[in-house]
Amino acid sequence: LNPLQEGIGVCGWILVSLSFLMVLITFPISIWACIKVVREYERAVVFRLGRILSKKAKGPGMILVLPCTDIFIKVDLRTVTCKIPPQELLTRDAVTAQVDGVVHYKIHSAVSAVANVTDVHSATLLLAQTTLRNVLGTQSLAQLLAGREEIAHNIQAALSSATEQWGVKVTRVEIKDIRIPMAMQRAMAAEAEAAREIGAKVVAAEGEMNASKALQQASMVLAESPAGLQLRYLQILTTVAAQNNSTIVFPLPINMFGSLGQKSTGG
């Protein structure tokens, strides 16, 4: 390409020509300093006299740079896993919590990552920390514990829109751990235990009510037949005697024998 088309001016054209001439004079020794290898997962941003060459990244493969006038910066395009340090925040319901997470991102534009931000990885990490605090600060503790996936998607969307101009694409955000004060943990445990105890008492009360209704119906059936009541007594006595080898004193009402005697005499 003509250096004049790149805006480096006449002086730039002269310097590039001298550099190219020096490469020709010292050939083939100079070729080892001019040829650079860019890996498949890398891209090289070449600066010629301070301007990005061709306004796009080079690679992968071999690229040619001129000594003294060209410098290049390699950019890794692989996915980067960034751990967010624990962030202390105050939820919407005034509960202090410490939250940490993991951010996965990758660079999709090497030129933007080099030209638009000083340190793209440090900037992405700091932005992830700030976004995590801002998003979680609008949630209550219950929402924070129950809606991790939705909150992670909101953080990812906020990060993606902010890092687009840096050539960074945030692929995934995960909330790793949520820590709350020990006093709050004890209070939540006591609340859960009380709720379970209330449920157990309700179930027991319903069982007692159902049992009392069944006993009431059974008593009404047995009241119509005194002989059936005595048979029920004998059945219970047989059951108890089979379980425990001991002497059992089983009281019987006198009126029961009287009713049985009257029936036998009448027969």
- pLDDT 10s digits, 118-154: 999 999 999 999 999 888 888 888 888 888 888 899 9
Q: Please give the mean pLDDT across all residues of the chain.
A: 81
Residue 8: pLDDT band (50, 70, 90) is low
CA pair distance 148, 135, nearest whole angstrom: 12
At 5 the pLDDT is: 46
C-alpha triplet 256, 257, 261: angle, nearest 5°: 120
Beta bridge partners of 46: 72
At 3 the pLDDT is: 40
Query: Whole-model pTM?
Result: 0.65
Task: Work out the average pLDDT over 46-70.
Answer: 85
Lowest mean per-residue pLDDT among 19-28, 116-125, 150-159, 160-169: 19-28
Q: Smallest Cα–Cα separation from 95: which of 173, 191, 183?
A: 183
- pLDDT 10s digits, 168-185: 999 999 988 888 877 776
Residue 1: pLDDT band (50, 70, 90) is very low
Q: What is the distance in angstroms between the CA of the first residue and the CA of the last residue of the chain?
A: 130
Lowest mean per-residue pLDDT among 24-33, 44-53, 129-138: 24-33
Q: How far is CA 148 from the centre of its chain?
A: 5
| Matching residue, tokens 């003294």 | 68
User: Is residue 264 scored above 60 in pLDDT?
Assistant: no
Residue pair 77/108 in contact (Cβ under 8 Å)? The answer is yes
Three-class SS of the chain: CCHHHHCCHHHHHHHHHHHHHHHHHCCCCCHHHHEEEECCCEEEEEEECCEEHHHCCECCEEEECCCCCEEEEEEECCCEEEEEEEEEEECCCCCEEEEEEEEEEEECCHHHHHHCCCCHHHHHHHHHHHHHHHHHCCCCHHHHHHCHHHHHHHHHHHHHHHHHHHCEEEEEEEEEEEECCHHHHHHHHHHHHHHHHHHHHHHHHHHHHHHHHHHHHHHHHHHCCHHHHHHHHHHHHHHHHHHCCCCCCCCCCHHHHHHHHHHHHHC
Percent of the chain with pLDDT over 90: 25
Q: Smallest Cα–Cα separation from 45: which of 127, 104, 114?
A: 114
Percent of the chain with pLDDT over 70: 82
More reliable by pLDDT, 64 or 248: 64
- pLDDT 10s digits, 234-248: 777 677 666 655 655
Task: Work out the average pLDDT over 95-120.
Answer: 91
CA pair distance 255, 249, nearest whole angstrom: 18
CA pair distance 53, 3, nearest whole angstrom: 10
Give the range with max mean pLDDT: 8-22, 113-127, 241-255: 113-127
CA pair distance 198, 213, nearest whole angstrom: 23
At 244 the pLDDT is: 59
